[in-house]
Amino acid sequence: MRIAVFPGQGSQSPGFLAPWLAVDGAEERLSRYSEWSGVDLVAAGTEWDADRIRDTQVAQPLIVAASLLSWNALADRDRFGGVAGHSVGEFAAAAAAGILTEQDALTLVGIRGRAMAEAAAAAETGMSAVIGGDEAAVLARLEELDLAPANYNGGGQLVVAGAVEALRALAAEPVGGTRVIPLQVAGAFHTRYMAPAVDVLRDAAAQVTALDSAVTVWSNRDGAPAPSGAAFVELLVDQVASPVRWDLCMSSFADAGVTGIVELSPAGTLVGLAKRALRGVPAVAVKTPDDLPAATALLAADA
């Protein structure tokens, strides 16, 4: 089984959309995505600087738009047997799987980004990656500092979140065998700090129709396949304030016999995790249109 995976927040970089504008129909598609999400995605992806695209309400639609732009440019998409998204990437996965229309996905992610930005503004919070070390020891230290695990990324990487002062204390006295790396995000996502955003997104999601998917769609909540399209939408709404269990997703990929992974733009992070946790499974990161032939070749190899 070949699967498509869609990255989350923090994978964007200044100007990364520029190469994609040369793809036929890309500007027209991005214009529609901009209208639906409420963000000028062409400017954001080609002109705005790192600080401006770090803004949650910009970053989230920008990442989902880039993922769907590259997804639509990829040939033989019907050869994928499953999809999964990391955090906000679940919206791109939902659209790729046909659970949500692209319009509904971009509209909802625009609402999600604005609601999470508002929730983040209520307190000075952030996120840091903790690399290496004993997970139980790290979790015990987090409890001492009133921090929370936000992303269980697998491959020895745990992203933690909470008050900025507590994150500084963790960095000043890291758990033995770990490195603590502050992340360029604007709040403590996937924690209790995001509870107000869950309510906003749930109200908006109630206005859309979710269809069932013909392919497997794994959820960040527990790594399991979603039983229905409606259930997946409920899970991605709740996920705003719950940890991302990408480690469990990758375990499920292994159990399902995944034989190849294609990560859509802005790609690289999830392929990197897969190379450490799913050794030997071929993976392609579609960063620019130049990477599309390699992704197509990977799909063809499954025929």
Supply the residues annotated as catalytic.
87, 190
- Contacts for 83 with CB less than 8 Å, ≥ 6 apart: 3, 4, 5, 6, 93, 96, 97, 213, 215, 216, 217, 218
Pair of tokens at residue 149 = 């695990």
Selection from 127, 124, 112 nearest residue 64 by Cα: 112
Contacts of 179 (CB under 8 A, 6+ apart): 130, 131, 132
Which of 292, 294, 298, 303 lies closest to 26, judged by CA?
A: 292
In whole angstroms, what is the distance from residue 244 CA to residue 90 CA?
11
Token couple for 249: 């997703």
How many angstroms separate the Cα of 31 from the Cα of each of 41, 50, 252?
Answer: 8, 21, 36
Query: Are 147 and 161 spatial neighbours (Cβ–Cβ below 8 Å)?
Result: yes
